[in-house]
Amino acid sequence: MPENTPVALITGSAHRLGARTAQMLHDRGWNLVIHYRSREAQADGLVKAMNHQRQNSAIALQADLSEIADTRLLGHEAAEQWGRLDALVNNASVFYPNPTPEATEDDWDNIMHTNLKAPFFLMQACLPALRESAGSVVNLIDIYSEKPLPEHPLYCASKAGLAALTRSWAKDLAPEVRVNGVSPGAILWPEGDAAVDAGYQSRILDKTPLKRTGTPDDIARTIVFLLTEAPFITGQIISVDGGRSLNM
């Protein structure tokens, strides 16, 4: 028999925004499925801390979201762990520049598979459980889905596609399942190959009315609100960007 405790699956939740959202939901009494691709140590550390707070309240599942078999298995295993699934947060994404003259087919596949194809087929795998629980979905979009970032055409297209899926699902899956999106602005600067210099950061903040970056909590609180306190909201994409989308 399913437990009464609500369960959320959050992709890419071993670190950064996904981990903060997972912890905030866990603090509210939810059970968490922490998805990771390669950050096993971080995922295991987060799960260990959660289970120390509340026994048998979190698990970590590995999946490569560029592989459809992995993606589908992740959805099925998440729903089976506690016999229910109440929320899906499509947080994992790939971000790096790919100017049109230089972009490769591998770039297309990598970005589109992770950012757009995986959320679709993960939703498909999770849908029976979400319908049964009258669950909710939140997709992490981006303010650049509407006003593109130069030299990132594939990333922007993938996020625009996810925004369209969000609205389509909200119509198609109602009334059983609510689907919304959150579009972060300057919250955490990109890491690794996509890292940006101080001058770029300054230019972004100059165009942000609040003149500062947000925090992971700003995003996590919005996701938690949509999942737990917004039963009459569906098909909406909330920009959490300090007003940045006003001055793109």
In DSSP notation, 55-78 reads TT-EEEEE--TTSHHHHHHHHHHH
Of the candidates 36, 96, 144, 155, the residue annotated as catalytic is 155
| Burial class of 145 by CB neighbour count within 10 A (0 to 12, 13 to 18, 19+) | buried
Catalytic status, residue 155: yes
Q: How many degrees, rounded to 5, is the angle at CA 141 between CA 168 and CA 187?
A: 160
Which residues sit opposite 183 in a β-bridge?
239
* Contact assessment for residue 60 and residue 47, using Cβ atoms and an 8 Å cutoff: yes
Q: What's the Cα-to-Cα distance from 119 to each of 19, 41, 208, rounded to whole Å?
A: 18, 24, 29
Helix (H) or strand (E) holding 10: strand 7-10
Instruction: Tell me the sheet residues that pair with 32.
Output: 8, 58
Contact 223, 136 (CB under 8 A): no
What CA–CA distance (Å, rounded) separates 248 from 238? Answer: 16
Question: Could you please report the per-residue DSSP string of 209-229?
Answer: TT-S---HHHHHHHHHHHHHS
Q: What are phi and psi of 131, to 5 degrees?
A: -65, -40
Neighbours of 61 (CB within 10 A): 19
Catalytic positions are: 155
